[in-house]
Homo-oligomer: A and B are copies of this chain.
Amino acid sequence: MADKTQDARQGRDYINTVAAVAIAPSGTGEELSEYVAQAVGVIRESGLKNETNAMFTNIEGDLDEVLRVVRDATLKLAAQGHRTGVSLKLDIRPDARDQMERKPQLVNEILAQRSES
């Protein structure tokens, strides 16, 4: 298994990934915050850079690390037996860094330049 895993990564030690993830139960009533907080708690304890907004929690790190945290946060609800829904979007730029800050900055800079001209 370890060999196959190494193979799949084609020798890359680090593959930069920004994730947006939303994890919530179905069938536990309309107020989901208690459950969402359990999943967000797992993400915060992971040590990976993260940021929670109204719709998703963004996480940045190596692809396998990010997927491990998404899995652990999902299991926090699913292993209690709840029907659980997960929405995940990944933007993987293998050799990039600090995309969580740079992506919105770049959009702001482009829009600022445009309004000046």
Contact = CB atoms under 8 A, between A and B. Distances in A.
Interface of A: 8-10, 12, 15, 18-20, 22, 24, 26-34, 36-37, 40-41, 44, 51-56, 58, 60, 63-64, 67, 70-72, 74-76, 78-95, 99-101, 103-104, 106-108, 110-111, 114
A7 to B, nearest CB: 9
A30 B78 CA distance: 13
Contact of A75 (B8, B70, B114): B8
Most buried by B among A31, A82, A87: A87
B74 A84 contact: no
Given A56-B55, A56-B56, A85-B90, A110 B34 contact: yes
